Amino acid sequence: MFSRRHFFASTLAATVPYGAPLRAQPVIEHHFLIGAGPIGGTYFPVAGLIATAISNPPGGRPCEAGGNCGVPGLVADALATQGSVENLRKIADGSMESGLAQADVALAAYKGEDAFNGRALSGLRAMANLFPETVHVVIRRGSGLESIADLRGRTVSLGERESGALSISQRLLSAFGVGRRDIDALYLSPQAASGRLREGTIDAFIMIAGQPAPLLSAMAQQSPIDLLPVPAPVVERMRQTQPDITETTVAAGLYDGIDAHPSIAVNAQWLVAERVDPDIVYGSLRALFHPAMRGRLDRGSPSAAAIRVETALDGLTVPLHPGATRFYKERGPTRSPELVLGDQPGLVTGGVAPFLHGVVPHHRIAVALRLAVELDAVGAEAGDDRREHGIGDAERAEQEAVVAGRGAGEALAAVKPHADDALHLGQHLRGVAVAWERGADVHRHLAAQLCEA
């Protein structure tokens, strides 16, 4: 362990400006803990990769010389925990700087709901959305169980008490009319639960992990297992009160001998304490999304490979850390003006996409969402081209701006049938359409002036 007082007192003085030579000033070692999850789950190896990416101990080679591109002087470590709930509690109580957590659990913590009832963790801040996690309801093949409703009266492990799996397990069972008292509930780690299932001392266990879950891949090769489905109508009912949940499918053959199964998923996100120095957060995101790290993420696991800057702001459920805001402003997935959500003071996003996900997380507006994001990029690039090049590009910029304005109107029309669920979205897209129409007029005027010149 380390002295937290030393860490925070020395961070500002010790941090080397990004890109400056290491010899420019002394680099003091400081530590950064990342709460992961149980060994054998998805979080632990991903947190380990992140720790490797952002670390850059004193004395190491600089990034440009083939060394690590992490934060100068930073030594990051991944810490095994029970999962999301424990990670967020430890971030709040000061025993770690950051951690991975499910989006729904992060929102509950920030609001003081569910497992955090009565104590809102208002100091939580977001760094990045990482990857989707799938709920797996695991049973023995040939057990006679066909539906989650059939778990009534059975022995089921719901996940460890401080895990995100427990929270979503309870909500999933409730959606099938199965309460806590209707089952013999156990609270085991995925490893312990898998052993008990093989022994026949439990009937099922629920775990949440990125696909494919290494534990289940190994288990399916050793013993016959199966998964229970979560049909689309159930997913829709759950989404009415839990919009962070999405519909997904476990593909046939992903695990040996298991056919395709519908299920639910929720995003894993990287959270941090508000108190952490913005330079550390900024530098950590630069390191994680540095081109030199891309290959390591792609080789790490399917979940690690899904970590991309283009989706780093999708569905964030707590405010961004100031250091993260700075990073995404400079190199975010969109280049649109910042948006501040009034019901969450300080929640600054990097563009249209996180606004739409955060306010109206409804899958029926996905087309409009993607179009709006594309319009951000088109408009920004058109403006840059007009400024940097000559008459021909000015004319092209004019045409693109007109198309963008038309497209924004189409996006608005696409979500109009869902106006009751998308009021804020409709208002925002209407503003986008007006802005692009004005931009088209400006581009036309400038193009005409350039042509006359």
pLDDT-based confidence at 358, cuts 50/70/90?
very low
Q: Decide if 439 contacts 379 (C-beta within 8 A).
A: yes
| Distance, CA of 408 to CA of 445 (rounded, Å) | 21
Task: Write down the pLDDT at residue 204.
Answer: 98
Q: What is the mean pLDDT of residues 331-351?
A: 38
| Structure tokens given for 347 | 């929640």
Strand partners, 246: 265
- pTM score, whole prediction: 0.68
Counting Cβ atoms within 10 Å, is residue 19 exposed (0-12), middle (13-18) or buried (19+)? Answer: exposed
| Structure tokens given for 263 | 């299920």
| Structure tokens given for 351 | 């563009």
Strand partners, 348: 340
Amino acid at site 178: V
Task: Write down the pLDDT at residue 363.
Answer: 35
**Sign, CA torsion 31/32/38/43:** negative
Q: What is the pLDDT of residues 198-224, one digit of tens each?
A: 999 999 999 999 999 999 999 999 999
Q: What is the mean pLDDT of residues 273-284?
A: 97
Counting Cβ atoms within 10 Å, is residue 81 exposed (0-12), middle (13-18) or buried (19+)? Answer: buried
For residue 3, pLDDT beyond 80: no
DSSP category for residue 318? S
pLDDT-based confidence at 292, cuts 50/70/90?
very high
| Distance, CA of 208 to CA of 134 (rounded, Å) | 5
Region of poorest pLDDT, from 23-32, 229-238, 265-274 = 23-32
For residue 16, pLDDT beyond 80: no
For residue 438, pLDDT beyond 80: no
Instruction: Please state whether the peptide bond connecting residue 212 to the residue before it is cis, i.e. omega within 30 degrees of 0.
Output: yes
| Distance, CA of 344 to CA of 348 (rounded, Å) | 9
Task: Write down the pLDDT at residue 85.
Answer: 95
pLDDT-based confidence at 391, cuts 50/70/90?
very low
Rounded to 5 degrees, φ, ψ at 283 are -65, -35
| Structure tokens given for 336 | 């649109």
Q: Are strands 184-186 and 155-157 parallel, antiparallel or unpaired?
A: parallel
Nearest residue to 70 via CA among 112, 113, 34, 123: 34
pLDDT-based confidence at 323, cuts 50/70/90?
very high
- Report percent pLDDT > 90 for the chain: 60
Q: What is the pLDDT of residues 156-201, one digit of tens each?
A: 999 999 999 999 999 999 999 999 999 999 999 999 999 999 999 9
Helix (H, G, I), strand (E, B) or coil at 156: strand
| Distance, CA of 156 to CA of 188 (rounded, Å) | 9
CA dist 93 to 12, 197, 436, Å? 22, 35, 46
Instruction: List, in order, residues 6 or more apart from 51 with CB less than 8 Å away.
Output: 32, 34, 76, 77, 78
Q: Decide if 131 contacts 210 (C-beta within 8 A).
A: yes
For residue 53, pLDDT beyond 60: yes
| Structure tokens given for 14 | 């010790």
Task: Write down the pLDDT at residue 197.
Answer: 97
For residue 443, pLDDT beyond 80: no
Q: Between 43-54 and 278-288, two packed helices, what is the crossing angle to 10 degrees?
A: 110
Tokens 């299932």 correspond to what residue? 197
Nearest residue to 158 via CA among 128, 129, 133, 136: 136
